[in-house]
Amino acid sequence: MSDAPRIVTSNQTGPHEDLPRRVSRGLSHVWRKPLAEHTREAFAEAETWRRAQGERGLILDACCGVGLSTRKLAERFPEHCVIGVDRSADRLSRDHGRLPDNALLVRADLVDFWRLALAEGWRPERHYLLYPNPYPKSVQLKLRWHGHPVFPAIVGLGGRLEVRSNWRLYIEEFAIAVSRATGVTTPLGPFDPGDDPLTHFERKYHEHHQPLWHLVVNLDHRPGLMPGM
């Protein structure tokens, strides 16, 4: 049996027609989902660790999975502190190699963690979303990060935001959502990870010659994008 990764298929032929409305709603309506207590505690521990790093710039590795990308980012940017966040205790418990001293893995619900980070005034210099689950069915738009109510917090944190996916349409939609939320337009393009992919998924996609896509956008810190923050 082949272990080739499945190519993303969708019943969409272009960007979702409801995306602009969902982004606009996220920018204008206070989202009242209660914050999970375990994420409050995890964020407090991460904030204590971040402050102990002194003047180092912050890199946020969202949906970090087993933490390989967090370790590699910490090695690539030793002058920064890198925080990897994932909701799965199982993934975070797997062997991801020795973490450098400037890296921290956190188990938390990112939906709450992003909002807490925005409220606390975090300003990551770099912010990564690497190969998130694309939820390719048209009815699943609200589960994609750019269609989710938390999207204003993602872009409100600012910094150099980089999103990678093996589904071009996901990147197209993300670029549309960023433009609608911030007025910043950014081109998307193909991406080649070379000989040092950041994640296991990236390595597998690349080895099986799946096209990879990414967008990189530099954003201002805009906490006011998230109503109620």
* 120-130 pLDDT tens trace: 999 999 999 99
Count up the domains in the chain and report the number: 1
pTM > 0.85: yes
195 vs 197: CA distance, rounded Å: 6
CATH number for position 171: 3.40.50.150
Q: What does the chain look like in DSSP terms, one character per residue?
A: ---PPPPP--S-SSS-TTHHHHHHHHHHS---PPPPHHHHHHHHHHHHHHHHTTTPEEEEEET-TTSHHHHHHHHH-TTEEEEEEES-HHHHHS---PPPTTEEEEE--HHHHHHHHHHHT---SEEEEES-----SGGGGGGSGGGSTTHHHHHHT-EEEEEEES-HHHHHHHHHHHHHHHS----EEE---TT--SSHHHHHHHHTT---EEEEEEE---GGGSTT-
For residue 82, is it within any domain? yes
Whether pLDDT at 85 is above 60: yes
For residue 55, is it within any domain? yes
For residue 80, is it within any domain? yes
Give the domain range for residue 200. Answer: 19-225
The residues near 106 (Cβ < 8 Å, ≥ 6 apart) are 42, 43, 45, 46, 83, 84, 85, 86, 113
9 vs 11: CA distance, rounded Å: 7
For residue 13, is it within any domain? no
pLDDT digits (tens, 9 = 90+) for 107-151: 999 999 999 999 999 999 999 999 877 899 999 999 999 999 999
For residue 127, is it within any domain? yes
pLDDT digits (tens, 9 = 90+) for 190-227: 999 998 999 989 999 999 999 999 999 999 999 999 98
For residue 162, is it within any domain? yes
pLDDT digits (tens, 9 = 90+) for 24-38: 999 999 999 999 999
85 vs 106: CA distance, rounded Å: 5
Decide if 201 contacts 103 (C-beta within 8 A): no
